[in-house]
Amino acid sequence: MGLGYRLVSRPMLGVQDSEKAHARAILGLKLMCSNPITRTALNLTYGPQSLNVTRFGAQYPNPFGLAAGMDKRAEALRGWTTLGLGFIEIGGVTAEEQLGNPKPRMFRSGASKALVNRMGFNNPGSANMANQLKRHFARYGRPEVPLWANLGKSKLTPLSDAPLDYATTMERLYSYCDVFVINVSSPNTPNLRELQHDDALANIVAACNAVNQKQSQQLGVDAKPLLVKIAPDLSDDQLVAVVKTARDAGCDGIVATNTTIERPEANNARDQLVFAETGGMSGQPVAQRSTAMIHRIYELTNGEWPIVGVGGISNAEDAWEKIGAGACLLQAYSGFVFEGPSLTKTVVNGLNKKLKQSSFSTLDEAIGFAHKQSPRVDE
């Protein structure tokens, strides 16, 4: 079915406007999962083997999740669990509703397996998102897997007011989401990346932690994990500073990485057009840089700080490399665009195979193996 997607469905979507194709794919998944027969068929076709892990105090059926940006409005929650994903990250969500940047704002290169987007946090706003999740939970129950929320800054909010903006969104979504990710690394909101540094980041984390403490006490639940998502374009000095600031401020982990503003060499005319567009690039071109940053963060933290690896995962080999670099969970977005709905099965079943072939008994043992020794793999 994955081959069928690459030979038939992906080329058909490829002739459409990228954003329209994306919307139609989300709608199609949502509709297919509204019918119990097609939902069961999807799960039988695409559901992976189990690879249970415990992360952030919760059980995950496998370590492979949906990255933010794919389902900004949380429209297909049942669809992603049907496809076997271990967790789902919705958003980015901002305090205020916003339309995002002018269209066209999403571009695709099939040859390079790369996406360029300048969406600009288009989303319904945190109040509307909370109401939508409330209605969904009332009708279908909570998702079967952990639900993460990607927190962004409203475009019109001054940088000085960013802590309140992020905290407002977190407070509104607190009852519905299990993990929160502070996104200070999207290149598509003016000056947002300035919030990755020093007091700016520390103040945002402090504001969100205040919400965390208040809400957890009021609801009688444990405080929820709070992570920060960083850009792949940081220098080493900047990365060292961001990691120290985030850890000292109380972040529970880090997501590495967001999209890049750098561009690889264009190999054809289509690439030249796509790569010339303003925005963040995701997909295969960011894979190596993302993995290198995971490796460095693991070194800086002695493997003691959870790292979520995202960027250019299109098969089990890519995923295994990020596990070796130090990632304890993985996410994909562009990989689903280019590889189709079978990606979860390909990655998770492939990781199971890697474990059986290696000297590791569990995935936890494999995390960071590139820092220790090459794992023995039986041929």
8 A C-beta contact, residue 104 and residue 19: yes
As a whole number of angstroms, the distance between CA 136 and CA 150 comes to 18
The reply to whether 50 belongs to the active site is no
Please tell me whether the peptide bond between 225 and the residue prior to it is cis, using omega within 30 degrees of 0. Answer: no
Tokens of 15: 């002739």
Q: Which of 109, 126, 186, 282 is catalytic?
A: 186
Instruction: List the beta bridge partners of residue 309.
Output: 256, 330
8 A C-beta contact, residue 165 and residue 123: no
Which residues have a catalytic role annotated? 186
